[in-house]
Amino acid sequence: MLFHRFSCDPLAQACYLLADGDEALIVDPLRDVDDVLAFAAARGLRVRQVIATHVHADFVAGLGEVAAATGARIRLGERFHGALACERLADDEELRIGGLRIRVLPTPGHTRESISLFVLPPASSDAPSRLLSGDTLFVGDVGRPDLSQGEGGTPRAMAMQLFASLRERIAPLPNSTEIWPAHGAGSACGSGIGTATSSTLGAERLGNWALAETDPERFCDRLLAALRPPPRYFASVAAQNRAGPALLGSLPIVRQISIHMTRQAVAKGACVLDVRSCLDFGKGHWPDAQNVGLEGGEFEAWAGELLDPVAPLVIHAGSADEAQSAVRRLRRIGCERVAGFVLALPDAVQRVPQIEAIDLFAPTGAAWQVIDVRRPAEYAAGHVPGAVACELGAAMPVVMLGRLDRARPTAVLCEGGYRSSAALGQLRAAGFTDLHNVHDGMRGWRGNHLPQVSGPAATATSS
């Protein structure tokens, strides 16, 4: 028997391969699935089935990619509805992969069609039983219940379904069952996912609030109170996954274009996405470019949140390899509208002065208007005295127009310069004219042992 977990750290996402003998099954693959296919090919495995535990909203699924490469059957839960050509898995159906037995558990709540897969090892094996829990049960948390509203399911109704799924389908399993979820810490599909890649049901009974809660109303209240708005791109990705996304091989090759061609594209409405570091961006960039650096680890999530969902893109990168990496990662979140990439800058560039956190504490520091773009919990844990909290996001310009002076010298700060640089485009669109990026962020502030204030934000609001 073979069990292997593949991870995509920027999306805190996990895909699984199960095999016995030369037969294999793949669960929850990403669109760029070459590493999984190479792993199977190197071991002479025949991939018989590819399964999605639910319709994913945070990444484009690679079901079609696996099927096209291997001839595997595409399968989802029986409550799936959409144009994607697939077979439905009946509730409690038992699948066979070699000597493996896999029982399909209906676990609606995160989405209507959510399933979990209870994997029983061959009788001759001493391997543990495993639950591939999708986005139903995480380490320390459960999936968000607010992604099915377009199908008529209210968040509270879905939360009630999730409570029932946990109680009726997962709780009866043995304590020794290993829990292998589709996401880890950092995913927007849960509110407080733990850092461990897996757990056991016994450990989750003790440490996961959702399994410990016995009252359905309290369960719903707590789950709904912890929800943050889903990233802007989630709805379009879910729609792609329901319809069946185009195969990567059918998409056009993204080629390098010239400065002149970039100007033409911008004149027709294209946005320039600068994927370089905040320091390189600050030294000079295409006018009105949006900076979302590849180096930050959260490229997909912030690109999906901040980029215009309709406008074509031109990528500005430091190299062709960097540009192609950006294309690949954008396609993970369903962004296929890249018109080309440019490696050069025009003669007239925009610049953003890069300052250090200690500069805010210098004698001239009183002149600064400081905007902290971190999450509310980060701000509350400790922030620069006098800093105004305004979390980075698509709605940021609307929030910022309220009470701040857009002509005053403004220092933009996050934990380490990445999000603050990404916020510059939003703030420029809101009319701020004298922006500076604190490239070492709160990390630099704390490193210099400068005074902090804790407590909730006095958030800027629109008038």
Statement: residue 3 has pLDDT above 80:
yes
Check residues 150 and 363 and name the one with the higher pLDDT: 363
- Quote the CA–CA distance of 455 and 441 in Å, as a whole number: 18
Range of lowest pLDDT (97-101, 280-284, 400-404): 400-404
Mean pLDDT of the chain, nearest integer: 93
Does 459 have pLDDT greater than 60?
A: no
State the residue for tokens 């799936």: 80
pLDDT per residue as tens digits for the range 158-176: 999 999 999 999 999 999 9
Rounded Cα–Cα distance for residues 412 and 407 (Å): 14
pTM confidence score: 0.92
Residue pLDDT, tens place only, 182-217:
999 999 999 889 999 999 999 999 999 999 999 999
* Beta-sheet strand order (sheet of 290-291): 290-291, 271-274, 313-316, 338-342
From CA 66, how far away is CA 390, in angstroms rounded?
42
Per-domain boundaries in the chain? 2-242, 251-342, 354-447
> pLDDT grade, residue 460 (50/70/90)?
very low
Task: Tell me the average pLDDT across 27-35.
Answer: 97
pLDDT-derived band at 362, boundaries 50, 70, 90: confident
Residue 309 has what pLDDT? 85
110 pLDDT above the threshold of 70? yes
Is the pLDDT at 150 greater than 60? The verdict is no
251-342: CATH architecture: 3-Layer(aba) Sandwich (3.40)
Report the pLDDT averaged over residues 136-143.
97
CA distance 13 to 181: 9
- Band the pLDDT of 257: cuts 50, 70, 90: very high
Mean pLDDT, residues 103-127 taken together:
92
* Tokens found for residue 7: 């991870």
Residues found in the chain:
463
Q: Sign of torsion, CA 438 443 445 451?
A: positive
User: If you classify domain 2-242 with CATH, what class do you get?
Assistant: alpha beta
- Do the domains 251-342 and 354-447 sit in the same CATH topology, yes or no? yes
Instruction: Report the alpha-carbon distance of residue 423 to residue 414 in Å, rounded.
Output: 10
Give the pLDDT score at 458: 61
d(CA 213, CA 216): 8
| Amino acid 361: pLDDT | 87
Over residues 419-428, the pLDDT tens digits come to 999 999 989 9
What residues contact residue 197 under an 8 Å CB cut-off, 6+ apart? 5, 7, 14, 139, 180, 184
Taking a C-beta distance cutoff of 8 angstroms, is the pair 31, 42 a contact?
Answer: no
Q: Check pLDDT > 90 for residue 403.
A: no
CATH class of the domain defined by 354-447: alpha beta
**Lowest-confidence region among 30-44, 270-284, 348-362, 400-414:** 400-414
Over pLDDT 90: what percentage of the chain?
86
Structural tokens at position 383? 């922030």
Res. 397: pLDDT tops 80 = no
Average pLDDT, integer, range 120-137: 90
Type of residue numbered 307: L
Q: How high is the pLDDT of residue 125?
A: 80
User: How large is the average pLDDT for residues 271-299?
Assistant: 94
Strand partners, 354: 437
At residue 365, does pLDDT exceed 60? no
> What would the two tokens of residue 367 be?
């002149």
